[in-house]
Structure 1
């Protein structure tokens, strides 16, 4: 168990206050963006150019396609086991890795329910 370090507790309190403010601002931002979207969609045909601000455009919804990494790994393994290593190697060469920086992870305690 970590001791009750006053500096750590003060920093966590500060973080909680900032996170609460960000949550409030994020909700306010979403409401404002929804209002702007409605204005642009209904009054300007989904596109408006605002001098000094920029171009506002309502984008159509889209679908992102991804590959199931676990299923691909199983396929590569299966191909190797059945003597199709060349195909497995080709699939492996298509894999990309993205480096992510490490950092602090905080798992908040859930409040007890009455």
Structure 2
């Protein structure tokens, strides 16, 4: 299993955002907030620090200028998930599903006390 799993919450939401396709920073911020129903807010320092870490790990990559969507301002940096990033995200999803199954099983066996 990957040494970074379980992963940081902000990394999880960044990777989930990029799983839907390339995005720039503010779109990732908005997507993370939506996906987490407002629970995760990626402030600029957290977002860009996390993006640098994910780039270093090889889980994401920056789009080259010629790959960026037409009509962008040219100032935005766009990122996409790499194959390794997708595999790591999938491993984290499997881990989270197992935790949720165990939690449901445990909770269904608990007695309700007044």
**TM-score, scaled to structure 1:** 0.25
Q: Which of 1 and 2 has higher RCO (CA within 8 Å, sep 6+)?
A: 2
